[in-house]
Amino acid sequence: MNMNTQQQNFRKLDVLIKELPWYVEEFIDKKKRKLSPGTLLNYCHDYKIFLNWVLAEGLFNGDIKEISLSLFETLTTQQVEDFLSFLKFQLNNREITINRKLSSLKSLFNYLQNIAETEKLEPYLRRNVMAKIEFNDVSENPETVANRMEGKILIGDEYENFRKFIEHGYGEKNTSNKRILNFHKMNKERDTAIVSLFLGSGLRLSELVWLNIEDIDFNKYNVRVIRKGNKEQYVYFSEQAMRDLKTYLNIRENKYMVSKENKALFVAAPMGPKGTTRRLSARGIEKLIEKYAASFGKPSLSVHKLRHSFATRYHAEINDVPKLRRQLGHSSIETTMIYTHLKNEDLKTAINKLNMPK
């Protein structure tokens, strides 16, 4: 994660923490030295969902910031199970997401019971209901994960067809809607370059969002990214991605009225009274992929599935797991091995001259 991302997450954290009770702020403050601001921000989002549920269920009368520790002493295991059911059936969270939220709560409650103490050297909580709640069993072998993933990624001709659809097809499909057509004309070079880079490199969303123009090496076909653990790495991408990037960069300054000081690679159109051009956000990229995917007829396709699509084709074409692991930035070889289980009969037109290191 680069410094800009960290600073942005710290700012968001400072805003969100003011909405939550004092003991949450104390816990987060203790964790700042060990955990990334992005992780802490996710913790706070999880706590806000839980505390808002407490209010909605009538378990506490008052403001969210006023929810007392004494309430946690009286929570029953059934009430916590009800909250987890709320996550599943009302918020449509997957089992793995529910486990993450439960893990956040377990960390907080463990701190309140076993680490924090009053002036009288007594724990904040004597009873920890979260310690009694078990995680969902979501263990899956790589083949199971691969089989589930296979129907949600681009396969065969879809790989190039999706890129062409963004470049031309989406506009042709919406010629009768001037607003949609004009918006596509404005952004088609940018959006094509974004998808082409995802499909030609396997970058993570956060890595692509924070790219600057200076990060691209146009001679070596690679891009400098800051990966998990704040590690710098140069990641290779395809010739098609390079062509689409150059097409976009040729129109970037004039179309988006970008000042020379703005080095962000992907930008959004100027908005607001001052008309300031800004870096395209992660959510903005997710929304445009969702839009194109739905219109293309593959609504389950997402930014992360584009990464999976790249990895699947790379493995089928090159069949080098260590290189694929490096390309994707995986810390564990087991994560990369998922792609060795994916099946696809039409992979002959895979990655074109990726210029991977020998």
The whole-angstrom separation of Cα 9 and Cα 283 is 14
Nearest partner of 212 among 245, 187, 254, 236, judged by Cα? 245
Total residue length of the chain? 358
* Tokens 């009286």 belong to residue: 74
Identified catalytic residue from 31, 304, 326, 341: 304
Which two tokens mark 148?
A: 């589930």
The three-class DSSP label of residue 234 is: strand
Identified catalytic residue from 31, 100, 228, 255: 228
Identified catalytic residue from 101, 188, 204, 323: 204
**Residue 6, Cβ neighbours under 10 Å: how many?**
15
Q: Is 204 a known active-site residue? A: yes
For residues 69 and 126, the answer to whether their CB atoms sit within 8 Å is no
The whole-angstrom separation of Cα 301 and Cα 143 is 20
Q: Is 307 a known active-site residue? A: yes
Identified catalytic residue from 307, 315, 323, 325: 307
Q: Is 330 a known active-site residue? A: yes
Q: Is 228 a known active-site residue? A: yes
Q: Alpha-carbon Rg of the chain, whole angstroms?
A: 23
Q: What are the catalytic residues?
A: 204, 228, 304, 307, 330, 339
